[in-house]
């Protein structure tokens, strides 16, 4: 899997998450929270929609995320594409009319990162509900002001990685990122390795 394909696919999925799932959900139900779901990710409230691999599944439709736009996808399932307005500064950087293209193999790698992250976070904090946030497109929980999560990749790290983000800078070799600590899923393996990484961060923070 070349990095260019992975990044292009991740940006496409981020755009769909933000403009086709979170935006319409916010305008209808007042929440931007998304969740990991079997084979991908989904809304948490109406209008219900889900991404499964490199496909959008909603309103009886199954649409490929290849050589299309968020505007076209949204119209096909009866919603209007657009990000949640006025809530955050960052985001996918896409407009509803920008072309998107998701490679199925790369999409599987990305949604698997969400599945691994969701599983590890539920074991780390059974009382918390992991959320996929459309701003940064990561799955996370916050415990005692510390963010624990898995990102499918971003400007910091192109491939999927786990992170621990404390509220204040920390010292020591574990803390290897500007926001705290990070390790790729390739290094950590599955949910067990990610959980161990989270637990290590929590232990160091006391």
- Mean pLDDT of the chain, nearest integer: 97
Final residue of a structural domain among 68, 88, 105: 105
Same domain, 131 and 144: yes
Same domain, 19 and 87: yes
pLDDT at 1: 75
Same domain, 25 and 98: yes
- Per-residue HEC secondary structure of 161-187 comes to EEEEECCCCCCCCCCCECCEEEEEHHH
pLDDT at 20: 99
- Measure the CA–CA gap between 115 and 122, rounded to whole angstroms: 11
Give residue 44's domain range.
3-105
pTM for the model stands at 0.96
Same domain, 113 and 131: yes
Mean pLDDT computed over 160-187: 98
Q: Are 194 and 150 in contact (CB under 8 A)?
A: yes
Count of domains observed in the chain: 2
Same domain, 85 and 179: no
Mean pLDDT computed over 26-34: 98
Mean pLDDT computed over 48-58: 98
168 has pLDDT over 80: yes
118 has pLDDT over 90: yes
């Amino acid at each position: 899997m070349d990095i260019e394909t992975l990044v292009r696919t991740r940006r496409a999925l981020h755009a769909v998450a933000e403009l086709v799932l979170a935006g319409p959900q916010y305008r209808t139900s007042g929440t931007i929270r998304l969740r990991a779901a079997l084979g991908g990710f989904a809304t948490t409230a109406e209008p219900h929609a889900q991404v499964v691999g490199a496909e959008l599944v909603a309103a009886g439709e199954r649409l490929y995320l290849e050589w299309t736009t968020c505007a076209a996808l949204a119209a096909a399932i009866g919603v209007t594409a657009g990000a949640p307005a006025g809530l955050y500064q960052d985001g996918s950087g896409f407009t509803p009319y920008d072309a998107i293209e998701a490679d199925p193999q790369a999409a599987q790698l990305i949604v698997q990162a969400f599945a691994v992250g969701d599983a590890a976070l539920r074991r780390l904090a059974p009382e918390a509900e992991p959320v996929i946030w459309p701003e940064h497109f990561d799955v996370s929980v916050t415990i005692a002001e510390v963010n624990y999560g898995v990102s499918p990749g971003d400007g910091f790290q192109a491939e999927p990685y786990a992170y621990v983000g404390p509220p204040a800078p920390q010292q020591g070799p574990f803390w290897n990122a500007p926001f705290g600590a990070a390790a790729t899923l390739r290094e950590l393996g599955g949910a067990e390795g990610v959980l161990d990484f989270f637990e290590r961060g929590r232990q160091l923070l006391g």
